[in-house]
Amino acid sequence: MKKPTIAIAGLTACSGCQLTLLNCEDELSEITQRFLVDYFPLGLTERCMTGPIDVAFVEGAVSTPDDLETVLKLRSYSRLLVAFGTCALWGGVAAMKNHEARRELAATVYGAAADGMKTFNPQPLHRFVKVDFAITGCPPEKGELLVTLAALLRGTLPEFPSYPVCAQCRGRENLCLLIERGELCLGPLIQAGCHARCPAVGIVCEGCRGPVAEANVAAEVRLLLDKGFSREEIVSRMQRFYPEWDYDQRD
């Protein structure tokens, strides 16, 4: 049977999502036996995209003409395109300052060198191309990547949790950081799949996996305001990984 051809590419991002694949150390040998890697600049010396590609995993937001060219090329070459990680799916950390002037932000970071930069507000992949599937997370869970690869070998795609982090948190019998400690935890709004890793060690959910489909955003904001947090602080925290919350949204 012909091996499925995959590509793993990065746009404006930290490369952490792509490293999820390389961190599958025990499974990497079998992955390379079962898949033909056509394009993976982070992991291969050869950086030419030849195509056709069965599945392209794309990390990062689109924020430059080069990013756009890359994702358009991958889309045209690929049967399936997967938004790989929070930045690709939601904009992520790259987009958290989209409400501020891009030129001013670039000048703050790069100084005079920013004058010649071609950059625009980072946007998720679906703003430019059709996305067939998504693996969220910052970075994605190794297990979800492996499950996706296994499903692709069977000609299908997996289903991931559609409930909030709170469900997994209570399943682990964790103390509720939001209700019982009054901390700024976003667990009720965020898609599960991380096994409530952070709350399990007393760290609030920062929202790195993006919004659950039926999030009652208005109720969460009201609850946090009642606990003494300012709206500015709440909005700043919520925009860290997903900049487009509807603060009046109810489930």
> Is CATH 3.40.50.700 the classification given to domain 5-153?
yes
Residue range 233-239: mean pLDDT, rounded? 95
pLDDT of 114 over the 90 cut: no
Residues of the chain with CATH 3.40.50.700: 5-153
Per-residue pLDDT at 116? 84
Residue range 134-150: mean pLDDT, rounded? 97
pLDDT of 104 over the 70 cut: yes
DSSP letters spanning 131-192: --EEE-BTTBPHHHHHHHHHHHHTT-------SBHHHHHHHTT---TTTTS-----GGGBB-
Asked if 172 contacts 198 with a C-beta cutoff of 8 angstroms, the reply is no
Between residues 47 and 199, the one the model is more confident about: 199
pLDDT of 227 over the 80 cut: yes
The edge-to-edge listing of strands for the beta sheet with 5-10 is 36-39, 5-10, 53-59, 78-84, 133-135
- List pLDDT tens digits, range 169-218: 999 999 999 999 999 999 999 999 999 999 999 999 999 999 998 889 99
pLDDT band at 47 (very low <50, low <70, confident <90, very high): confident
Tokens at 239, concatenated = 């925009």
Per-residue pLDDT at 1? 65
Per-residue pLDDT at 250? 79
pLDDT of 239 over the 90 cut: yes
Per-residue pLDDT at 127? 97
pLDDT of 251 over the 80 cut: no
Per-residue pLDDT at 34? 96
